[in-house]
Structure 1
Amino acid sequence: MDNDLLKELTLWHNKNKYEKIINKIMEIPEPDRDYDLVCHLARALNNQDKYSEAINYFLSVQEQGQYDPLWHYRLGYAYYYIGKYKEAIVAFEEAVALNPEDEHSKTFLEMSRNAAGREGNEKIRKVNDEQVEGLLEVDEKINQFSLVAHNNGSISMILSVGEYKRDIFQTRAEEGVEGNGYDWASLATVFLNEKMPHLVDIIRFDPEADMFAAYTDNREAMFSFAIAFNEACEDDILMKDLFSRAELD
């Protein structure tokens, strides 16, 4: 891929301008699209919630992607969000095998396994009742977010950033706000400090560009935080007010 084009696509991705990425790549004749271009196109389709289209593009370069952990991660991401959890598990397992340090793939692997279990699919792993007690009930109350119980006893609250509440973050776009995982963490920090200060030393944040993640070893604290933070995010006036005081990363 041409370096100038790569820089342009990366800039658009960082600014959540996924439609521009799609249009730009679609202007290039299909025979002239290399592996990197196809992956950029499919990733942008993922971020536009066009998961089935993304899967088709990812699979069109399957041979080239077989040793690329990012290819497996992004394919698994698409499978997860169309509810094909078994396929997602296979993809995330391969991503982790290729890159054991990939925490995102590990998290989505846990999420896929939990989802597969909830739907009555083949049981992928056993989780003791104490570990998941109350998790499914809370998970149903937090809309765009997901709770993940980990084998080490910790619990995470995950959001794959995208369209959800993007207009709120746009109120500070002139400051470089993009609505990415770091911006969500800045919002969550203000919420925690002002609304739930007793949990400040218990709930931790570990965001990435495309994901907001909160985690703790205290299950009840996470349940309380998850429900309260979700309610705050559903109140646009409150969310704008909180974010107005967020210190940007």
Structure 2
Amino acid sequence: MNKEQLKNLDMWFNEEQHELIIQELTKTALDKLEYELTGHLARAYNNVGQYGKAIILLSGVRDEGETDSLWHYRLGYAYYYAGREEEALRYFENAYRLDPTDEQAKMFIQSIGDILGENQGMQNTVVDEEALLPFRWVAHASSVSLILNAGSYKNEVFAGRIDEGFEGNGYDWGSLAAVFIDEVMPDLEGRVHFDPEADMFCAYSEDGESLKQFALGFKAACEDDVLIRDLFSRSELD
């Protein structure tokens, strides 16, 4: 690995051009990749939703990764979004043990604790999860969440205002969702809340039916290109 290659990888990551990272790093046979480059490639696979590939890749460098908090975090991330929360929890706990300053790992540990302790009340909200993809429906102990891996959906909409600073990150999705609530489903104001991160959009509610109503409506709006672009035109940069 040379400095110029690493500079390009970091630049593409910051610009959310994860496919370029994959194209660059898969020019080399995977079993010939240096450990650090393997981590970059796994992160790129995670960011484009190819969690199975990330799991396989990271598992292949387990011996080197056992003492690396970032390796544990990336593997936990892949397992989490692949719907394998119990396996994800172990890796996030290891990441946090190795790096107690890792607030993202801590957040995932708490989220998974909620998921694994989900109660029957939230399970009573029946949702066609396939219809919501790529959004992910998650039931917690006393609430439900709708989660999206930022950068994996509708990038072309956000690209229309990139000169204003929009990137399609979790905060930008939060701004778009707020306009949707205000203009399309104002009755959900105060019942559906947003808690985005840089790489993740999250809507949540203690009322499963309210979040279900939002989730179905928002996904339908996203699939209507004219409507979603119109709503986004009034989104404000966070």
Q: What is the TM-score with the length of structure 1 in the denominator?
A: 0.77
Q: Counterpart of 2:136?
A: 146
Matched letter for residue 157 of structure 2: I
Kindly, what percent of the aligned residue pairs are identical? 45
Cα distance in 2 for partners of 1:69, 1:202 equals: 37
Deviation at 1:228, TM superposition (A): 1.7
Larger CA deviation: 29-38 vs 214-223 = 29-38
Cα distance in 2 for partners of 1:227, 1:196 equals: 11
Deviation at 1:144, TM superposition (A): 1.8
Deviation at 1:28, TM superposition (A): 6.5
Aligned length: 235
8 Å CA contact 2:174–2:196 kept in 1: the answer is: yes
Cα distance in 1 for partners of 2:120, 2:16 equals: 40
Cα distance in 1 for partners of 2:53, 2:129 equals: 28
8 Å CA contact 2:205–2:211 kept in 1: the answer is: yes
Matched letter for residue 146 of structure 2: M
**1:220–1:245 Cα change, 3 Å:** same
Q: 1:210 aligned to 199, 211, 215, which one?
A: 199
Deviation at 1:205, TM superposition (A): 1.7
Cα distance in 2 for partners of 1:164, 1:73 equals: 23
Matched letter for residue 124 of structure 2: E
Larger CA deviation: 102-111 vs 207-216 = 102-111
Matched letter for residue 229 of structure 2: K
Deviation at 1:107, TM superposition (A): 6.5
**1:132–1:82 Cα change, 3 Å:** closer
Deviation at 1:63, TM superposition (A): 2.8
Counterparts of 1:67-146 in structure 2 under 5 Å? 67-82=67-82, 87-95=87-95, 98=98, 99=100, 101-102=103-104, 104-106=107-109, 109=112, 125=116, 127-134=118-125, 136-137=126-127, 139-146=129-136
Q: Give unpaired runs (5+ residues) of structure 2.
A: none
**1:140–1:191 Cα change, 3 Å:** same
Deviation at 1:31, TM superposition (A): 8.6
Matched, 1:58 2:47: no
Cα deviation code 1:142-201 (max 9, x no counterpart):
2321222223x1322111123322222222233333222122111111111212233333
Q: Counterpart of 1:18?
A: 18
Matched letter for residue 138 of structure 2: V
Cα distance in 2 for partners of 1:131, 1:30 equals: 43
Q: 2:188 aligned to 182, 194, 199, which one?
A: 199
Deviation at 1:204, TM superposition (A): 2.4
Larger CA deviation: 29-38 vs 192-201 = 29-38
Cα distance in 2 for partners of 1:61, 1:180 equals: 30
Larger CA deviation: 214-223 vs 87-96 = 87-96
User: What RMSD in Å do the two structures reach over aligned CA positions?
Assistant: 3.1
Cα distance in 2 for partners of 1:139, 1:51 equals: 18
8 Å CA contact 2:119–2:140 kept in 1: the answer is: no
8 Å CA contact 2:118–2:140 kept in 1: the answer is: no
